Amino acid sequence: MSGFSRRRFLQWSGCSAALGISGCGSIPFKNSTTAQVVVVGGGFAGATAAKTIRQLDPNISVTLIEPKSQYITCPGSNWLFAGITDMTALTVDYQALTAQYGVKLVTDYVTRIDADKRKVILAGGQTLAYDRLILSPGIAFRWDGLPGYSQEIAQIIPHAWQAGSQTLLLQQQLQAIADGGLVLIYVPPEPYRCPPGPYERAGMMAYWLKQHKPRCKLIILDAKPGFSKQKLFEAGWTKHFGYGSNNSLLEWHSIADNPLVALDSKTLTLSTDFGDKFQAQVLNLIPPQQAGAIAGQSGLTDASGWCPVEPQTCRSKFQENIHIIGDAANYAPIPKSAFAANSEAKVCALAVVSLLNQQAVPEAHWLNTCYSLITPKHGISVAGVYKLNAQQNIEMVKGAGGVSNINDQTAPGLEAVYAKSVYRSLVRDSF
């Protein structure tokens, strides 16, 4: 990482620098008020927002609505394919949020948002009123974006882009492949959750295949002409899997000009516009994505399928009292990552508390760092610091952040250690 020292970056991101405050404790708001904040979605963004609001102003009542009593993290889930983690290690609960921070947890689904009356209606029949609503619904899949793919077929041909049963299914299929078989990963157009994720997955799978099924091949078919951290990934693939050679275990091919046109789910065959056919023994299709369903149903998305927001306050551009964070929202050029979601949540929490206390919203800053493993002992990373420019658009701070030093021979081992450490720290900070 260049420009901004790793130690300084991690120190800054580990506390409340994203909030623009100097400490991790509560802020002494002069007009502290009793208000109702409802948070929908208990992922990294929603959990962080709920916790941080209670830290900033304990007089504000915060209710978190989440259908699951436990959350399986997508970050770290690719490591399952290399055999270096398990579902227990990826699973977190909400006990600290409720016991330590006083967040009220409601285990249910939101079926409707009544923005005019400031109420959310739950599947179980309960109605909750709010002064401010924070929406963090994550992603939904655009099933029509892959010809022949569907939610039903995903039970046979997994996407594994929401951690849990899908991840286990893909792991089981990988481990059952005959030596000499083909593993095929399809990567959708941007934007999608975790831009480097498919390539980390490819490395983790290739690592396992090299140990157990060395005659297999893994091919990535990419809807894009390039991808995040490409030089770093390719250098690692070359070192460990013979990438670029005639007997490479792993290949990457852009099909940006030759898109998929058909899927034969019975034979696991993909067909492209130019007539190319790829038949796999293990097929991992990652569909195009958009904001979680409740966002679209509530009129909070635009033509892109994502939620436009005012970055300074995280407010929806369509509803003044609704704030949107995490993967569902458009904070471009900030990528859709768990670390970014955590940072957006802190900015949002400070904005919500300030607005409820009728105080000026502080200047917003955001952080993102994304670590990927190529093998269990070879890591790479990218990091960025973001701010608002004069036009109130988000831009990266020049000279801050950076990428792994490709020429440093000691960096991959250290980055692998940092990757696991940052994951643990992010989970603790969020939940």
User: What tokens appear for 367 in the block?
Assistant: 């952080």
What is the rounded CA–CA span in Å between residue 16 and residue 304?
32
Domain boundaries, the chain: 6-140+289-430, 144-285
Whether the per-residue pLDDT at 14 is higher than 60: the answer is no
What is the rounded CA–CA span in Å between residue 332 and residue 329?
9
Model-level pTM greater than 0.85?
yes
Lookup result for tokens 């892959």 = 146
- At 250, is the secondary structure helix, strand, or coil? strand
Q: Decide yes or no: CATH 3.40.50.360 for domain 144-285.
A: no
Read off the pLDDT band of 34 (50, 70, 90): confident
Provide CB contacts within 8 A for 365, sequence distance 6+: 17, 18, 20, 347, 385, 386, 387
pLDDT of 293-329, one tens digit each? 999 999 999 999 999 999 999 999 999 999 999 999 9
Q: Are 203 and 79 in contact (CB under 8 A)?
A: no
Closest CA to 37 of 135, 112, 139, 111: 135
Cα-based distances in Å from 376 to 73, 121, 202, 407, 423 = 18, 45, 13, 19, 14
Averaged pLDDT of the chain: 93
Provide CB contacts within 8 A for 210, sequence distance 6+: 240, 241, 249
pLDDT of 227-260, one tens digit each? 999 999 999 999 999 999 999 999 999 999 999 9
Whether the per-residue pLDDT at 31 is higher than 70: the answer is no
Q: Decide yes or no: CATH 3.40.50.720 for domain 6-140+289-430.
A: no
pLDDT at 17: 41
What is the rounded CA–CA span in Å between residue 66 and residue 110?
9
- At 25, is the secondary structure helix, strand, or coil? coil
Read off the pLDDT band of 209 (50, 70, 90): very high
Whether the per-residue pLDDT at 15 is higher than 50: the answer is no
The Cα angle at residue 228 between residues 75 and 211, in degrees rounded to 5: 60
User: What tokens appear for 116 in the block?
Assistant: 């005019």
Closest CA to 343 of 251, 121, 36, 351: 351
Q: DSSP assignment, residue 143?
A: G
Whether the per-residue pLDDT at 418 is higher than 80: the answer is yes
Cα-based distances in Å from 169 to 186, 196, 213, 297 = 17, 21, 18, 30
pLDDT of 248-299, one tens digit each? 999 999 999 999 999 999 999 999 999 999 999 999 999 999 999 999 999 9
User: What tokens appear for 103 in the block?
Assistant: 């967040």
What is the rounded CA–CA span in Å between residue 167 and residue 356?
41
Tell me the angle at which helices 44-56 and 338-356 cross, rounded to the nearest 10 degrees.
Answer: 30
* DSSP count for the chain of H helices, then E strands: 10, 26
Interval 197-218 mean pLDDT: 98
Q: DSSP assignment, residue 82?
A: G
Query: Residue 264 pairs with which residues in a beta bridge?
Result: 269
